[in-house]
Amino acid sequence: MSDPSSSRRGAFIVFEGLDRCGKSTQVARLVDRLEREGQKARLQKFPDRTTAIGKMIDAYLQSKAEMDDHAIHLLFSANRWECAAAIRQDLNRGITVIADRYAFSGIAFSAAKVSRSAEMGLPFDFCLQPDRSLPLPDLTLYMSLPQEEATQRSQFGEERYETVTMQQATRKQFRLVAEEVKKIHGGTKWIDVDARGTIEEVEERIKGSIGVLTDGVIGRVGELW
């Protein structure tokens, strides 16, 4: 039997950023490109709105349901846990998994919220806990876009967190999340990508940042924290 620690597995690549920064566009193009190149790759969107938990999250985001800030935070995390085993399994089968948002959004958005229960949103440490030991992405690409440009993109303002105040607060929390990741795992797991310019220009930058990672990764899938 081959030793799993010495054979190549699929790469786990996460895209993060504020609302409308272009994640979904770039994730779709990346999966398309990898498939065209004959690689095994699949998309994993968070929140996954198709599961029972995902449907509750969807209702909350569309303001069709109200929920305590702690409760919705735990549901976002539970939504990742229900997909975690499949992600690990696919990675170990050599499939590259590309995620559109992950635990980093979970922390940044919850911590940024001006809640009724705590003036400054949920405590950062509380936000980290439910995602402890989820699969660690091999690379997180944080798509950085000035607020003025995000606001101009179509459909901004439709969902719960799409206000300028909330996005500004979340931007700050994402910086803290990036620092946390760098503190635990060093500087190689998180890269900021300039999300300004045309779709094609951004795609080129992303391609450069990913490099040969999609050829496979040696070593076991790690844990977030």
Residues from 1 through 60 that contact Na ion (CB under 5 A): 19
Taking only Cα atoms into account, the Rg of the chain, rounded to an integer number of angstroms, comes to 17
Q: Shortest approach of ligand T5A to residue 21 CB, angstroms?
A: 4
* 3 state DSSP class of 5: coil
Nearer to ligand T5A, 108 or 217 (CB): 108
Q: Interface with ligand T5A includes 5 (CB under 6 A)?
A: no
Q: What are phi and psi of 221, to 5 degrees?
A: -70, 130
Nearest to 214 by CA among 102, 100, 88, 91: 91
Closest approach of Na ion to the CB of residue 159, in Å: 4
From the list 16, 19, 90, 138, which residue makes contact with ligand T5A (rule: CB under 6 A)?
19
Residues in 197-216 at the binding interface with ligand T5A, rule: CB under 6 A: 198-199, 202
Q: Which of residues 36-55 bind ligand T5A (CB under 6 A)?
A: 46-47
Site string for ligand T5A, 113-152 (x = CB under 6 A): ----------------------------------------
Alpha helices (runs of H) in the chain, residue ranges in sequence order: 23-36, 52-61, 69-92, 103-112, 124-128, 147-152, 164-185, 199-210
Residues 78-117, one symbol each (x = binds ligand T5A by CB under 6 A, - = not), give ----------------------xx---xx--x--------
Rounded-to-integer distance, Cα 153 and Cα 27, Å: 17
Euclidean distance between the first and the last CA atom of the chain, given in angstroms as a whole number: 30
Supply the minimum distance, in Å, between the C-beta of residue 63 and ligand T5A: 12
Residue 159 as a binder of Na ion (CB under 5 A): the answer is yes
* Residue 30, Cβ density class (10 Å: 0-12 exposed, 13-18 middle, ≥19 buried): buried
Q: Residue from 53, 61, 181, 206 that binds ligand T5A (CB under 6 A)?
A: 61
Q: Report how far residue 47's alpha carbon sits from residue 132's, in angstroms, rounded to the nearest whole number.
A: 17
- The four Cα atoms 158, 49, 43, 16 give a dihedral, to 10 degrees, of 50
Give the residue with the Cβ less far from ligand T5A, 126 or 161. Answer: 161
Q: How far apart are CB 14 and ligand T5A at their closest, in Å?
A: 10
- The distance from CA 155 to its chain's CA centroid, rounded to whole angstroms, is 20
**Which CB sits closer to Na ion, 159 or 203?**
159
**In sequence order, which residues have a C-beta less than 8 Å from that of residue 103 and are 6 or more positions away?**
77, 80, 131, 134, 224
What is the contact surface with ligand T5A in residues (CB under 6 A)? 17, 19-25, 46-47, 61, 76, 100-101, 105-106, 109, 153-154, 159, 161, 198-199, 202
